[in-house]
Structure 1
């Protein structure tokens, strides 16, 4: 188990273009399955869809360390599903990085 201070966290907020929420939801499910299957450095990968604004998504991720998160971004499934297919459907994208405290 990694030390808590090594755990690297990502919080992403996406607003998808009108009419694209179903497609993004489907692609996020594929991405999450690929992360869980292929990335031993990933501890948590959860995606959420706003109950009030269906075009708004929140993704929360935890990695054993920053290097595991860098490997995630280089993974073929991230390049294809997230950067190649999801990002073009977004109207807004914000990503923040954190270190676990407790």
Structure 2
């Protein structure tokens, strides 16, 4: 059975040298489209204080289906996978679900 609890995404991107401005420009468009998604709770972009080429995304979705919808969206496929990922050295993604105690 699919998880119906909120899902948070932590993504850390290490941007290739000289590409940070391009990535940030594209990421602004991704942010603006992502926050319009029905299942999106928030989409926050952070830049490391110690390494300007490191971006951390903190995203919230209402459930796993909303995460899947985000990943299948035109803006994710075109901008993130098609244009941003080739500008990255490394990309790590962790999905977490709130535990109810």
Provide TM-score, normalisation by structure 1.
Answer: 0.90
The aligned residue for residue 5 of structure 2 is: 6
Q: What per-residue deviation string (whole Å, max 9, x for no partner) do you get for residues 72-99 of structure 1?
A: 0000000011000100000011000100
- Structure with bigger helix share is 1
1:30 aligned to 2:29? yes
Supply the RMSD in Å over aligned alpha carbons.
1.2
Runs of 4+ in 1 over 4 A off after TM superposition: none
What is the match of residue 18 of structure 2? 19
Deviation (angstroms), 1:101: 3.5
Show the counterpart of 2:69.
Answer: 71
The number of aligned residues is 97
Find the residue that maps to 2:50 and give its secondary structure.
coil
> Under a length normalisation based on structure 2, what TM-score does the superposition of the two structures give?
0.91
Q: Which residue does 2:44 correspond to in 1?
A: 46
Structure 2: gaps of 5 or more residues: none
Which residues of structure 1 form unaligned runs of 5+? none
- Cα deviation, 1:50-76, whole Å, max 9, x if unaligned, reads 122110000011100000000000000
1:55 counterpart (49, 53, 56): 53
CA offsets 1:3-41 (integer angstroms, 9 cap, x no match): xx700111000001000001111111110001112x110
